[in-house]
Structure 1
Amino acid sequence: MRPMSSFKEMVENIGVESLLDGSILDQSASSSSLSISKVAIIDVQGMTCHSCVSNIQDNLSSKEGIKSIVVSLKDCEATVEYNTSKWNGEDIAEMIDNMGYEAKLKYIKDILESGNDTSILREAIIDIQGMTCQSCVNSIQCTIGSKNGIKSIAVSLKDCEGRVVFDSTKWDGESIAEAIDDMGFDAALKLVKDVSPLIPALNAETSNCDAESDYKSVTPVMSTPTSILRKSMINKGDGDQLIMDVDSNSVRIGKRCAKFKQNVENSLERCTLAVEGMTCASCVAYIERNISKLNG
């Protein structure tokens, strides 16, 4: 397919003035470019209660270019997704610091917003010897987690083990183990496995409790059970609402339901989720209470 600029040149070459505005061409070109977001992990010291958490979240979430933010009082950490054309990690940390807290950027993770993501995720389980304290854990997580293509990392001091989810087009298990080894630890790859979602997308092939959906305007897609646990009520768009019911075995939205895969490998991992819409400690307690009921 010819770009619009080519048609503009063809028209002008035959002696007819083109009315195609250059700004339209610019807009067309820019619209085809990918919108790039990044996630900044920021250490935040000085928080004493959930009011501090709400204060930071409310202030940052109101800024243009801040897509989501979740602050953990327990971990003294903020996870911020932002538009790279408007922000960088250091500026976000400085903004939190100016609010009266001690904030320092730990690392940044890349997110490429594209529906054509062909990356294949795998998880490497790495034996790590030589760690003596939590500072060693933090050092490995911050250094490895900041690298492009590393999706997540969780290091256990007790088990002397690191679990790293990575883009296999950019990394392999041996190279990750070598990167940890270069930091002064004795690291050896134990195994690598594919990372698969717990349940498939909620579509016609998923268990349907009724032939017609109560919610035709949106088909919920779930890569994990927690990916839609952001609200217990879902707006249909016509003023009505649907109840989202979650138990230990399934998720039900209106008349549609999907079951969680059972007998998943018994392994513990930790992930950081951005949860929007929380306004007080009751929201936190509600989420914790319901998630703790899920199998696993």
Structure 2
Amino acid sequence: MTSTTRRISRKATGKAKQETIVVAVPESGTAEEAKATLSDSIPGWNELTKQQQTELAEIAVAQRKERQPVKVKLTRKPDGGIMIDMDGKCEALGILKLQKAFAATSMEPVNARANELLRYMGSVGTDNTGRYNAALSFIESMAPQNQAETLLLVQMYVTHDAAIRALSQLGSAEWLPTAQIFGNLAAKLLRTSQGQMETLARLRRGGEQVVKHIHVDNRGGQAIVTDAVVTGGENGKSDGQSHAAGTLVECAALPCPDPQGFSLPVTGFEGKEAVPDARWNEPRRAEG
């Protein structure tokens, strides 16, 4: 059974009410077979078209097959601190899922990364269960393979969040200097976020390098460029690779007046011309 929660905003009272919609999906069966169960649990099912009913059933069945994300509960302590507890009936399962999400086999690195996220969220006033589980969902969805990737993913989440917060201040800025400050800050944070994504991609490629081979056809006077991917080992090093492999220079062939001849005309001559002796080797005449 799959359930989802939607938040309904009450502008008149300034309060928010949570309404839970339970989507009952059989543990087995196809989307067509699930329609019978969904028709009894989905409000407004009969108002949907046949295509919409099929789409809803397919999405529900696909989500049923996916592993449920890790979730925690944040509880504020009397001294002002926050306690992180597992959300679920089986605490052992929750802890193991949390360790897997952070690519760890013990709780020490998990607690370190979890506290880093919590401190940032507390500094911007978003240290609540919903936002914290959203951060965990992002990290888990990226499936970090080691502690380096976990560190980077935590940085990526907080950098993105800070960039969005800076951008949100542009609309409410009343003075140009204020808008410029937040605009420059957002631009720097977005560049940092992009660099973090590129770093993660390089880590997962394992040092992949692209080498371009340039073939010059003298007959046509054109350069043909082909790409070859060379995957190195750790840190992108490849045995026996030339130190100049990373320097690529692309150039086109020089124009050729004769399609069947040389790229450049070569002046021809017969034989070798003798080089004259130096003038100081000749006998000098005495000046009278």
Q: Which has the higher contact order (CA 8 A, sep 6+)?
A: 1
What TM-score range do you get, normalising by the shorter chain? under 0.3
Q: Which has the higher strand share?
A: 1
More helix by share: 2
Task: Give the greater-gyration-radius structure (CA).
Answer: 2
